């Protein structure tokens, strides 16, 4: 589909390099989405029209799925730092391969962080009519509690489960391989497994319909009545335990361009259309500017790095 977009752009003459206009008016800005249609894609396509208006430029969301987001990550990382190629990054997802010992071709500490779009903290859910009423119940079943996760053992969903269960000292077993996040949640509803750890936003519709029930949320403050947070249960704070959607450009992106992009993203999230979409579809924004994003990313990487050893030993030989 990007080919067609490119052809259209070329035909319209938008891509002609002859004009002297300065960034960002002389050619389209590519907003690389590391996955196919779904959460990331919807955020990008919702914000794109507002970004176009605010920047006075053409913004083309481009899906570059594959290899768990690595192809997109490499594309953005290696792009010229001219402000015409930026991308959405999934965190902590994109930081995990390096922590797990994979040789990656991008260095997160060198990226130019532009803005944070969303932060969705994890929650632990069981089947709606499950007899498991609390975290204590789940941890004392007399057998390891089983957890559903999409993708392989090295995907974020599995890793979140490993970290949470290790911290809680709860015996568990992972049932991986579900084709999507939704299918893994379906696995809980169908009774394949006992529980699932997933971003709260994706679980919410199923909580509201009663198909699943939350046992604990990994948040600072409780959102749901009667559902304890991890802090309430006397455990440490997990302020970085969740899924973040972040915008970043290649290393050495000029500060002036970075700041204009950052401002445009923050403003785009404030437009009435974006706000209405966010509310209706239950896709909340958690905007952070470029400096705040950079700080948050350092914290996220530090948080996951401390589990590096645990994760590597957990996955060894599996």
**Residues binding other proteins (CB under 8 A):** 1-5, 36-38, 41-42, 45-46, 49, 61, 65-68, 70-71, 74, 146, 151-155, 158, 173-180, 182-183, 185-187, 189-193, 205-206, 208-209, 211, 276-277, 280-283, 315, 318
**Shortest separation between residue 281's beta carbon and other proteins, angstroms:** 4
- Between 1 and 255, name the residue whose CB sits nearer to other proteins: 1
With CA atoms as reference, report the closest residue to 277 among 98, 49, 69, 23.
49
Beta-strand (E) ranges in the chain? 29-33, 59-63, 85-91, 112-127, 145-150, 172-178, 195-199, 212-217, 242-249
H or E stretch including 262? Answer: helix 255-268
Distance of closest approach, residue 293 Cβ to other proteins, in angstroms: 24
Instruction: Rank residues 281 and 292 by Cβ distance to other proteins and give the closer one.
Output: 281
DSSP 3-state of 186: helix
Closest CB to other proteins among residues 53, 289: 53
| Minimum distance, C-beta of residue 307 to other proteins, in the bound complex (Å) | 16
- Helix, strand, or coil (residue 26): coil
Distance CA 115, CA 14 (A): 27
Given the complex with other proteins, which of 42 and 292 has the nearer CB atom? Answer: 42
SS (H, E, C) 300-314: HHHHHHCCHHHHHHH
Q: How far is the CB of 63 from other proteins (least distance, A)?
A: 8
Q: Which is nearer to other proteins, 112 or 161 (CB)?
A: 161
* Closest CB 64 distance from other proteins, rounded Å: 9
């Amino acid at each position: 589909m990007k080919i067609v977009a490119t052809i259209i752009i070329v035909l319209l003459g938008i891509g002609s390099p002859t004009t002297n206009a300065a960034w960002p008016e002389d050619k389209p800005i590519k907003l690389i989405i590391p996955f196919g249609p779904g959460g990331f894609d919807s955020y990008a396509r919702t914000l794109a029209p507002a970004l176009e208006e605010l920047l006075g430029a053409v913004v083309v969301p481009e899906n570059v799925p594959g290899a768990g987001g690595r192809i997109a990550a490499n594309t953005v990382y290696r792009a010229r730092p001219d402000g015409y190629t930026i991308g959405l990054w999934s965190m902590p997802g994109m930081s995990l391969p390096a922590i797990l010992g994979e040789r990656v071709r991008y260095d997160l500490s060198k990226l130019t962080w532009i803005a944070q779009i969303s932060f969705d903290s994890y929650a632990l859910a069981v089947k709606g009519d499950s007899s498991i009423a609390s975290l204590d119940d789940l941890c004392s079943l007399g057998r390891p509690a089983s957890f559903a996760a999409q993708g392989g053992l090295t995907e974020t969903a599995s890793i979140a489960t490993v970290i949470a269960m290790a911290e809680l000292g709860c015996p568990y077993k992972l049932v991986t391989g579900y084709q999507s996040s939704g299918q893994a949640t379906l696995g809980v509803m169908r009774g394949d497994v006992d529980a699932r750890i997933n971003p709260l936003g994706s679980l919410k519709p199923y909580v509201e319909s009663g198909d699943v029930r939350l046992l604990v949320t990994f948040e600072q403050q409780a959102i749901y009545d009667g559902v304890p947070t991890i802090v309430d249960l006397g455990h440490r704070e997990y302020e970085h335990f969740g899924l973040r959607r972040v915008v970043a450009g290649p290393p050495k992106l000029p500060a002036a361009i970075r700041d204009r992009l950052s401002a445009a993203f923050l403003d785009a999230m404030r437009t009435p259309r974006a706000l209405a979409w966010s509310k209706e579809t239950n896709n909340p924004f958690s905007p952070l500017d470029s400096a705040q994003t950079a700080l948050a990313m350092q914290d996220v990487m530090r948080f996951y790095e401390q589990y590096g050893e645990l994760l590597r030993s957990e996955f060894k030989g599996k």
